Structure 1
Amino acid sequence: MESMDFHKIMAFVYLPTILIGLLGNVLSLYAYSRPNRKSMVGFLLYSLSISDIFLLVFALPLFSIMYLPIWTDEQRSFVVAYTAKYVYPLCMMAKTCSLYIMVLITIERWIAVCRPLEVQIWCRYTTSSYSIAAIIIFAVVLNFARFFEFEIEYVDGLVLFKRELLDSDKHWWYFMFYFIIVSIIFDYTVPFVIMFVANMLIISELRRTKKERSLMTIQQQKEQNTTVMLLVVTIFFGFCHFFSMALKIAESFAGGFLTIHNIYLEMLGEIFNYLIIIHTASTFFIYFIFSEKFRQVIKGLWK
């Protein structure tokens, strides 16, 4: 199977997934825009829905629309070139925002479960607002160089793109330092270590207090249910992102893009990208399954 044929097949797989994800995140945005957004966790889930919507909107042309059989050759070359040049960096910024909002949610749950006396100090609406602003700035700064990874050329009436900074032969320093080392540290290692350690501590605390559940107040039981729901979200998040991290680490040892030289690795890389989109598109269903209040708000739309 040719590379382009596989991408065309995946375009039809991505399309319904992204559209369902957009609908789900819009509904989540509505649910968490209710009065409970004033709580830190409500505001963080509201912010995550916004970030995921942007991620899915940018992923739509990047992974689906530009490969659909709706373009002439000239139109396709134009769409592919400008999508790679400008949409890809924006997609990565949204991905970084979603990633670190997930980290923030995990930290919030760790404080709520393991440091309950510090909740009033750290888990406040103003604190979360400043944290989200810092994440947005960080995401823009971290991914700004990606706007220079591709260069657009005009050849015989066609708009083409080629690797510029992303050319590992021409700019090996960029490939190793930024695309590999910086990416592995800030896109994977730091957030994954934080989420793994925090989640292990949360799970340990939940197991310890399981025997005391009958003595909990209704509010405490709701907090614990929220924690379980967010544990599912973050663990599923880790699973869906793990394989992309493994591929990037393998490329760091290889000193170049493995997916360029092997069609099967390219297909595998595309499947790993799809897993990330799957997570972004599925959070609505996790909220709906685990949160009674969320279900009530959504069901209220049809009353």
Structure 2
Amino acid sequence: MNTEATASSTEDQEAIMPTLGSLSLAQLKQCNDYYIVSAAFIGAFVLLGLVGNSLTVYIFRNASNQTSTMYLICNLAVVDVMVTLLFLPVALPPSVGTLSIFYIAYVSNLAYTLNQISIFFTTILVWQRYISVCKPHDVKYWTKVSVLRGMSIAAVILSIGVYAPGFLKYTVNRTSAGQFVVQTTRVGSNPIFYYLHTVGIMNLISYVIPVSVISYATIRLIQSLRDKTALVSSQRARRDLTKSVVVIVILFIVLQSFRPVRYILLSVFNPYSMAISCQGPLMYFAPIPPFVTILNSSVNFLIYVICAKRFRQKIAAIICGRLNRLVPESISGATNLDQ
């Protein structure tokens, strides 16, 4: 795929892609109805992500007994808040001015960079739980906050390094009809760069390695949960958190499977912004990858509420305005989860 071929492909697809002026009122209504429904779902989960992750950070950072697990959960919640905020423009229809065009070209790469950080933080979290539950002899080192902080910083640096070239892949141009479209640059249209970076490195870093590590750790955690039945209260709290992590990573594996599909479609449909426009071939697919990313960053809070009894009690106390009347022992027991 060279530059000339890319330009030719762009012209061919511009000829077959529908423009708003060529669409009937029924087609436009169909698009608007779909945009409204998808925007409602995305907006609801963005709100859930903002509120839920904020409450998660509040509860764990105000705990009387800080642990390494809480440190990782707080880091993950903070990043997930930023992810949901940057994916919020996805709720707007592609027909809203040129916002979607510039979002695809520039902002979306920043959003996926933060999502990559979230992926790494999830991997570190499940690995830490695996060490705590299945490798008790290694707990002293791998659960040190200083060690986990170093791993988190390395994850941020690696994510930025991997996704930084993405800012050089696209540019915004005008078509002969006066429309703004996202087109690949010489860097983005270079086949070596595409297959090495986008297909190879990005899928390896964002999907293959994290899913492999998480799958192994999750299987071992599930085996450990099956082996432990009679538990005292403090052990039950730790088990609840482990169950929460297991549910989170299972959902993570399912939702992250949409990322490789998106990378393939980005190469097939050029310009991508035209393909996702009203009545374009990817109109119905367009909101799915960002929606599942928002979903993945938003539902952790619900999982904690469902799976962790002590966390659920703290949320109930906050809602009922009784947080200051909680017994100190309950707070300690609710947060001492990974010893």
TM-score (norm 2): 0.75
Q: Tell me, which stretches of 5 or more residues in structure 1 are unaligned?
A: none
Q: 2:83 aligns with which of 52, 55, 63?
A: 55
Q: Which residue of the partner structure matches residue 247 of structure 2?
A: 232
Following superposition, the deviation at residue 220 of structure 1 comes to: 2.6
Higher helix fraction (1 or 2):
1
Q: 2:66 aligns with which of 38, 63, 71?
A: 38
Query: What SS does structure 2 have at the residue aligned with 1:293?
Result: helix
Once residues 186 and 223 of structure 2 are traced to their aligned partners in structure 1, the CA distance between those partners, rounded to angstroms, is 43
Are 2:171 and 1:143 aligned?
Answer: no
> % of aligned pairs identical?
18
1:188-199 alignment to 2 at 5 Å? 188-199=207-218
Are 2:95 and 1:95 aligned?
Answer: no
Matched letter for residue 178 of structure 1: H
1:92-131 alignment to 2 at 5 Å? 92-131=112-151
Are 2:40 and 1:21 aligned?
Answer: no
Q: Which residue of the partner structure matches residue 200 of structure 1?
A: 219
1:238-257 alignment to 2 at 5 Å? 238-245=253-260, 247=261, 251=264, 256-257=268-269
* Equivalent pairs, count: 287
Query: What SS does structure 2 have at the residue aligned with 1:38?
Result: coil
In structure 2, do the counterparts of structure 1 residues 151 and 47 end up closer, same or farther at CA, with 3 Å as the change threshold? Answer: same
- Confirm or deny: 8 A CA contact 1:89 1:143 kept in the other structure: yes
Instruction: Tell me which structure has the larger Cα radius of gyration.
Output: 2
CA RMSD of aligned residues (A): 3.1
Deviations 1:195-248 (A, max 9, x none): 1111112212222x23xx32x443333222211111011111111112433x25
Deviations 1:138-187 (A, max 9, x none): 1111111111222134679x78342224987x422222221111122111
Which one scores higher on RCO, CA 8 angstroms, separation ≥ 6? Answer: 2
Using the TM superposition, name which of 260-269 and 12-21 deviates more. 260-269
Once residues 290 and 59 of structure 1 are traced to their aligned partners in structure 2, the CA distance between those partners, rounded to angstroms, is 27
Once residues 215 and 235 of structure 2 are traced to their aligned partners in structure 1, the CA distance between those partners, rounded to angstroms, is 24
Once residues 191 and 37 of structure 2 are traced to their aligned partners in structure 1, the CA distance between those partners, rounded to angstroms, is 32
Matched letter for residue 64 of structure 1: A
TM-score (norm 1): 0.83
Following superposition, the deviation at residue 56 of structure 1 comes to: 0.3
Q: Tell me, which stretches of 5 or more residues in structure 2 are unaligned?
A: 1-26, 322-339
Q: Which residue of the partner structure matches residue 175 of structure 1?
A: 194
Once residues 243 and 81 of structure 1 are traced to their aligned partners in structure 2, the CA distance between those partners, rounded to angstroms, is 21
Following superposition, the deviation at residue 112 of structure 1 comes to: 0.9
In structure 2, do the counterparts of structure 1 residues 139 and 30 end up closer, same or farther at CA, with 3 Å as the change threshold? Answer: same
